[in-house]
Amino acid sequence: MNRFLLPRLLLLAVALGAAPPGHAQVSLTPAQWRQDLQVVLDSFLLRDKTFSPAAAARFRTRVTNLRDSAALKTSPQLLVGLAAAVASSGNAHTRLYLLRNRSVLRRYPVRLWWFADGLYVVKTTPEHAALLGAKVGRLAGQPPDALRRRVAPLYAGSAGWKDYMSTYTLTSPEILQGLGLAGADGNTPLEVRTRAGKRLTTQLLPLPLTPSRQPLEAWWDLMPGHPGRGATWQSALPNDSTQLPLYLCRPQRYYWQHYLPAEKLLYVQYNRAGNQPGTETFEAFGAQVLAELRARPVAKAVVDLRLNTGGNLQVAQAFFGQLAAVAKERGAGLYVVTGPATFSAGLFHAAQLRQAGAVVVGAPVGDSLDFWAEGGNLTLPNSGLDLHYADRFHGYSPAPHPELAPYLYLDLAVPDLTPRLRAELTGREYFAGRDPALVAIIRQK
What is residue 15's predicted lDDT score, i.e. its pLDDT?
A: 30
- The reply to whether 154 and 92 lie within a common domain is no
Establish if 139 belongs to a structural domain: yes
Do 294 and 150 belong to one domain?
no
The reply to whether 152 and 292 lie within a common domain is no
Query: Do 77 and 114 belong together in one domain?
Result: no
Domain count of the fold of the chain: 3
Orientation angle between helical segments 75-87 and 30-47, nearest 10 degrees: 10
Assigned domain for 102 exists = no
Specify the pLDDT at position 16. 32
**Are 38 and 85 in a shared domain?**
yes
176 and 286 belong to one structural domain: no
- Computed over its alpha carbons, how large is the radius of gyration of the chain? 23
Supply angle C-alpha 153, 204, 427, rounded to 5.
65
Q: Are residues 264 and 329 in the same domain?
A: yes
Kindly report the CATH number assigned to the domain that includes residue 30.
3.30.750
Residue 151 resides in a domain: yes
* Domain contains 318: yes
Q: Tell me: do 120 and 161 sit in the same domain.
A: yes
Q: Are residues 302 and 425 in the same domain?
A: yes
pLDDT tens, the chain, 445 aa long: 333 333 333 333 333 334 444 567 889 999 999 999 999 999 999 999 999 999 999 999 999 999 999 999 999 999 999 999 999 999 999 999 999 999 999 999 999 999 999 999 999 999 999 999 999 999 999 999 999 999 999 999 999 999 999 999 999 999 999 999 999 999 999 999 999 999 999 999 999 998 999 999 999 999 999 999 999 999 999 999 889 999 999 999 999 999 999 999 999 999 999 999 999 999 999 999 999 999 999 999 999 999 999 999 999 999 999 999 999 999 999 999 999 999 999 999 999 999 999 999 999 999 999 999 999 999 999 999 999 999 999 999 999 999 998 999 988 999 999 999 999 999 999 999 999 999 999 999 8
Residue 49 identity: K
Based on the fold, state whether residues 59 and 196 are members of the same structural domain.
no
How many whole angstroms from its chain centre is CA 275? 19
- pLDDT, residue 213, reads 92
Question: Which of helix, strand or coil describes residue 335?
Answer: strand
Entry pTM: 0.93
Q: Which range marks the domain in which residue 175 is found?
A: 110-210+224-235
At 377, which helix (H) or strand (E)? strand 376-379
Q: Within this chain, do residues 59 and 78 fall inside the same structural domain, yes or no?
A: yes
Would you say residue 216 lies in a domain? no
